[in-house]
Chain A
Amino acid sequence: MASVVGTFTLDPRARKAAAKRRTRGEGATAWAFVSPSVLIILGLSVIPVLWSLLLSFQANDLVSPSRWVGLANYKALAADPAFASAVQHTLVYTALYVPLSVVGGLAIALMLDRPIRLISLYRTLVFVPFVVSAAAQGVLFSFVLDPEFGAANSVLHALGLPAQGFFSDPGQALYLLVAISLWSGTGFCVIVYLAALQGVPDELVEAARIDGAGRAGVLRHVVLPTLTPVTIFLVLFQTINALQVFDLVFVTTKGGPLGSTTVIVYFIWEKAFKSFTAGYSAAAAYALAIALLVAGLALQLYQRRRTGKALR
Chain B
Amino acid sequence: MSSPTRRDILRAAAVLAAAGTLGACGKSDEDEAGGVVTVDLWHGQTDTGKAAIDALIKEFNRTHPNIKVEGGGGGVTADSMLQKVTAGLAAGSFPDIAYIFGSDLASMTRSPQVADLTSALGDRLKDYWPAAKDAVTVKDKIRAAPALLDSLCLVYNKKLFAAAGLPLPKAGWTWDEFVTTAQKLANPAKGIFGTGWPGVGDEDTVWRLWPMIWDLGGDVVSEDGKTVAFDKVGEQALGTLDRLRTDKSLYVDPKPGGEQLYQVFLGGRMGMVATGPWELPDVIDAGLEYGVAPLPSYSGKPVTISGPDTWTVFDNGSARVKAATEFVTWLMEPKQDVRWDLEGGSLPLSTTTAAMPEWKKHAASTTGLQVFVDALQTARVRPTIAAYPQISEHLGEAIVAVLLGKKSPADALKECVDQSNAVLAVPN
Contact = CB atoms under 8 A, between A and B. Distances in A.
Interface of A: 25, 28-29, 32-33, 35-36, 39-40, 43, 61-64, 142, 146-149, 165-170, 253-254, 256-259, 273-276, 278
B17 interface: yes
Contact of B7 (A29, A63, A146): A29
B406 A170 contact: yes
Interface stretch (B35-43, B81-89, B214-222, B356-364): B81-89
A258 B406 contact: yes
Contacts of A169: 404
Interface string B293-315: 00000000000000000000000
Interface in B244-289: 251-252, 254-256, 260, 264
Given A168-B252, A168-B254, A256-B400, A61 B200 contact: no
B39 to A, nearest CB: 21
B113 interface: yes
B404 A258 contact: yes
A33 B7 CA distance: 11
A254 B80 CA distance: 14
A259 B397 contact: yes
B14 A170 contact: no
B390 A32 contact: no
Interface of B: 7, 10-11, 14-15, 17-18, 21-22, 25, 82-83, 86-87, 89-90, 107-108, 110-113, 191, 199-202, 251-252, 254-256, 260, 264, 389-390, 393, 397, 400-401, 404, 406
A61 B389 CA distance: 14
Contacts of B111: 63-64
Nearest to A270: B393
B251 to A, nearest CB: 7
Given A64-B110, A273-B83, A256 B90 contact: no
A35 B400 contact: no
Given A43-B21, A61-B110, 15 more contacts: A32-B14, A35-B15, A36-B14, A39-B22, A62-B87, A62-B89, A62-B90, A63-B89, A166-B254, A168-B404, A258-B201, A258-B406, A273-B87, A276-B86, A278-B90
B18 A29 contact: no
B254 A257 contact: yes
A169 B199 CA distance: 11
A274 B104 CA distance: 10
Closest 9 CB pairs of A and B: A63-B111, A32-B14, A62-B90, A168-B254, A273-B83, A254-B256, A32-B11, A64-B110, A63-B89
A63 B17 contact: no
A35 B254 contact: no
Contacts of A259: 397
Contacts of A28: 11
Contacts of A147: 254
Nearest to B397: A258
Contacts of A64: 110-112
A273 B404 CA distance: 26
Contacts of B83: 273
B200 A256 contact: yes
Contacts of A170: 404, 406
Contacts of A274: 389, 393
A263 B406 CA distance: 21
A257 B399 CA distance: 11
Nearest to A167: B254
A25 B10 CA distance: 13
A27 B264 CA distance: 68
A23 to B, nearest CB: 15
B424 to A, nearest CB: 15
Contacts of A32: 10-11, 14-15
Contacts of B11: 28-29, 32
Contact of B191 (A33, A149, A167): A149
Given A35-B14, A64-B112, A257-B400, A275 B21 contact: no
- Of A63, A64, A142, A170, the most chain B CB neighbours within 10 A belong to A63
A29 B10 contact: yes
